[in-house]
Chains A and B, each alone.
Chain A
Amino acid sequence: MSATPVLALRGISKRFGAVQALTDVELEIHAGEVVALVGDNGAGKSTLVKTIAGVHPIDEGAIHWEGRQVDIHRPHDAQDLGIATVYQDLALCDNLDVVANLFLGSEIRRAGIIDEVAMEKRAKELLDTLSIRIPSVRIPIASLSGGQRQVVAIARALVGDPKVVILDEPTAALGVEQTAQVLDLVERLRERGLAVILISHNMADVKAVADRVAVLRLGRNNGVFPVRTTSHEEIIAAITGATDNAVTRRQARTTEAGL
């Protein structure tokens, strides 16, 4: 693991009108590391990811990219830095084939004309290095299974050679076998030296592939745990707030008062 985190968030705050969505959130991620971002519904996971991806600019705090401070105002800024985001709804075009989807928006051209041969070749190489098996790179996305679509969506994020990949609930709608395919792929991304931020509700997935778990609760950090030495229950407790924090203290006080 490198000394300087590839991406570091320092004291990030974000507010939507009267709602304080994020307060002083810290997050560090290194190359070759999978960090799971967990939290209950409304804990601010999606908001945090969207600030990194440039969808929502931050109100306070700083984002450091490889040690230097950067501004991310638009999705384009994030992409230029090397941050790729795979959203929960996959954002693939069902009517286009796999090659066209992989290169959508960044087609390889030769004298102004789409170079299908070069694109198909690179698509095959990319899918091969990730050990992604799909029936053909020339069939429409519509005829792929949910798991195959998810791996294509992830592969699509890799076309621009990013350094950080954000996966938003990549296994949410998948079956057992397909989930395994996607988790395999996440491990391969780590082997390639990418930093992966994995948002998940599924503790089993998190335990299977993540190196560290960052817990968000009510828009604040609620602990970062190394996965190997932390139990399932400890993470759940951090998510639900059943540990020593403001909420539990308050609960304790009220129970005392009640006595």
Chain B
Amino acid sequence: MSHTVQKASSGDAAPTGAVDPRLLVREQGFKGYLTEFKRKVRGGELGSIPVVVGLIVIGVIFQSLDSSFLSAGSLSNVSVYIAGQGIMAVGIVFVLLLGEIDLSIGSVAGVGAALWAVLSVSNGMDDTLAVVLAIAAGAAIGAFHGFFFAKIGVPAFVVTLAGFLGWSGLQIWMMGEEGTINTPSGGIVENLTNYYFSDIAAAYGLATVGVAAFLGSSLLDSRRRRAAGLPFRPVSEIALRTGVIAVIAFVCAYQLNQARGLPLALVIFLAVLLFADFVVRRTTYGRQIFAVGGNAEAARRAGINVEKIRITVFAIAGLLAAFGGLFIASQSGGASKSLGSGNVLMNVIAAAVIGGTSLFGGRGKIWSALLGMLVIQSIQQGLNLLGMASEIQYMITGVVLLAAVVIDSVSRKTQKSAGRT
């Protein structure tokens, strides 16, 4: 934190004036914004700054190397490709908020896709039911991991490492006879990444609704805070934020309409993000996840059922992994023995960390799944355009992940030296 707080802690008896000068009251207007921003950066609270800077750098570099990088078609592809692993990354954010790790999600994605394929394609089960069962199986697998971690006390690292091996074995066994099962055209899974709302009204409509919802909720919140006599965001600030979001939303909508329209995959991914963000920030359950991730003992004493939180969080990670697996199956044309293996696991964990969610628990945002996935996918997209081999992509993704973790660790250190632990 800034010097303001350090002064406050060593200060003498509090003066009883109108406003204590040591209090961190943000100055109104944009100057206040700037000082607040500086204070946060100096204190090591970098938030989404590194990842946004990273995205801009990636955009500039690849655009200068290949002018089709920022073309509508390329961006449209990125928006579809991020969905599968991005949804899995949302699950990983939940687990990271607990201060734990789940190494099994790649295999769980594979099992989910395999289960759906075997049930629906090979055994002719109702497609919807097969999809629901595959996702439910993912949740059950996650809860199984969570049980061993929370009730038995096995480290999550080990449980999910065992799961990583075990479930990929199950996946290969299930796929045994065929090896690969192609997605039938017109089915739910096929549509996940191949359906586009080609009507241009869809993309613009979604952008309009999103911006309006943001503006409305901001104004409402500001009014309630004002009525309660609490510090509130001035209208000018809300207008600025809404403006930035509106520009991003409508540029994206325009670009998507230039290509094939609004992808269903992106809509589902955004819906998952919004819902997860709501759960984490606005519900008691989300608050309890942060509490357990920050100090499990304190959470227990506050009457929180720590075991329940741990099991359910792993179940969420498993559920989203299986759901993401269906997207990957859709994208690659079917379920296979190797779906979810390779660098899927690392990409997903890297996305959450690159996006700004701490590996050390208790700090992070759901939206880091989107931001981190954008970084990883745009690097892959750019390298693909340049015709680079996948081994180069692995190396570059490795470097980016290391950089992200370094930023996380350094910002933690800065926070410690600035009076934060």
Q: Which of B4-12, B193-201, B247-255 contacts A (4 or more CB under 8 A)?
A: B4-12
**Cβ of B279 to closest chain A Cβ, rounded Å:** 10
Closest A residue, CB atoms, query B415: A142
Fill in one digit per residue for A127-139: 1 if any B CB lies within 8 Å of its CB, else 0.
Answer: 0000101111001
Known: A117-B230, A120-B230. A104 touches B291 (CB 8 A): yes
How many residues of chain A are within 8 Å of chain B by beta carbon?
39
**Cβ of A160 to closest chain B Cβ, rounded Å:** 11
Q: Are B23 and A135 in contact (CB under 8 A)?
A: yes
Q: Are B9 and A148 in contact (CB under 8 A)?
A: yes
**Cβ of B24 to closest chain A Cβ, rounded Å:** 4
Q: Does A105 contact B (CB under 8 A)?
A: yes
Q: Are B9 and A114 in contact (CB under 8 A)?
A: no
Q: Does A248 contact B (CB under 8 A)?
A: no
Closest B residue, CB atoms, query A109: B284
Known: A117-B228, A140-B420. A133 touches B282 (CB 8 A): no
* A144 CB contact (under 8 Å) in B9, B224, B225: B9
**Cβ of A223 to closest chain B Cβ, rounded Å:** 32
Known: A113-B283, A148-B9. A95 touches B363 (CB 8 A): yes
* B290 CB contact (under 8 Å) in A93, A105, A139: A93
Q: Does A177 contact B (CB under 8 A)?
A: yes
Known: A93-B294, A94-B294, A94-B295. A113 touches B9 (CB 8 A): no
Q: Are A93 and B283 in contact (CB under 8 A)?
A: no
Q: Does A192 contact B (CB under 8 A)?
A: no
Q: Chain B interface: which size bin?
A: 35 or more
Give CA–CA (A234, B130) in the complex, Å.
Answer: 79
Give CA–CA (A114, B421) in the complex, Å.
Answer: 26
Closest B residue, CB atoms, query A132: B14
Q: Which B residues touch A105, using CB under 8 A?
A: 299, 302-304
Number of A-B contacts (CB under 8 A): 115
Q: Are B1 and A139 in contact (CB under 8 A)?
A: yes
Q: Are A142 and B230 in contact (CB under 8 A)?
A: no
Q: Are A121 and B229 in contact (CB under 8 A)?
A: yes
Q: Which B residues touch A253, using CB under 8 A?
A: none
Q: Does A92 contact B (CB under 8 A)?
A: yes
Q: Does B66 contact A (CB under 8 A)?
A: no
Q: Does A32 contact B (CB under 8 A)?
A: no
* A117 CB contact (under 8 Å) in B224, B293, B303, B363: B224
Q: Which residues of B contact A (CB under 8 A)?
A: 1, 4-5, 8-10, 12, 14, 16, 20, 22-25, 43, 221, 224-225, 228-230, 282-284, 287, 290-291, 293-295, 297-299, 301-304, 361-363, 415, 418-421
Additional 16 contacts, C-beta under 8 A, given A93-B290, A94-B295, A133-B20: A89-B297, A91-B295, A95-B293, A96-B362, A104-B291, A105-B304, A117-B221, A120-B225, A120-B228, A133-B23, A134-B8, A135-B1, A136-B23, A142-B420, A144-B5, A148-B9
